[in-house]
Amino acid sequence: MLETERLLLRPRRAADARVVHRLWRERDPRVPAHRRIGPDGRPTVAELEAAIGAERSSSLGLLTVELRPTGDVIGYCGLVDSSRGADGEPELAFELLREVWGRGYATEAGLVVLGWARSAGHERLWAGVWDWNLASRRVLAKLGFTETGLEEADPVHGTTLLTSLRL
């Protein structure tokens, strides 16, 4: 578990699937369809429960973000495998419910995950972000990530900008 003054970051549980499902429903329509809830309602909460239940803990992984005073789950933040970095360097990933945007929680969660990454011996992290996602780009800049100039062009969903941070 990782803690800040306002947040608790803990391993994900199958019960977190309801919030994950809500995050998928709230995603911007520019996000690729396979990463949103489809017209058929899939992935379902049960499918997300199964996927979360199959995750294994390691020095990588997504952590559930809870508000400390209430225990309310507001999203996730953590490290995931990345094909973008060299030598198995992980990627920072985060997503929070829209109702808590603009309160500094993503930056706060990101900072504690950076400390976790350092303590696990990682020397650099990556993060990919769509060019149109200004809020996430601001969070990454506050965390110290810099845009590398590398891009993954996608004429349908927008260009993904590659950022990195030396720990």
Tens digit of pLDDT per residue, the chain (167 long)?
Answer: 999 999 999 999 999 999 999 999 998 888 888 888 988 989 999 999 998 888 766 557 899 999 999 999 999 999 998 766 566 789 999 999 999 999 999 999 999 999 999 999 999 999 999 999 999 999 999 999 999 988 888 887 788 988 889 98
Cα dihedral 33, 34, 39, 41 sign: negative
The pLDDT score that the predictor gives to residue 85 is 59
* Number of domains observed in the structure of the chain: 1
The pLDDT score that the predictor gives to residue 86 is 60
The CATH number for 105's domain is 3.40.630.30
Q: Quote the domain boundaries for residue 22.
A: 2-122
**Does 151 reside within a domain?**
no
Pairing of the two strands 73-80 and 91-96: antiparallel
**Does 40 reside within a domain?**
yes
**Does 135 reside within a domain?**
no
**Does 88 reside within a domain?**
yes
**Does 59 reside within a domain?**
yes
In DSSP terms, which residues pair with 10 in a beta bridge? 64
Contact 89, 120 (CB under 8 A): no
Give, in order, the Cα–Cα distances in Å from 90 to each of 78, 80, 99.
Answer: 10, 6, 28
**Does 160 reside within a domain?**
no
**Does 136 reside within a domain?**
no
**Does 20 reside within a domain?**
yes
Q: Give residues with Cβ within 8 angstroms of 119, minimum separation 6.
A: none
The pLDDT score that the predictor gives to residue 59 is 57
The pLDDT score that the predictor gives to residue 159 is 86
Look up residue 48 and give its two tokens: 């997300």
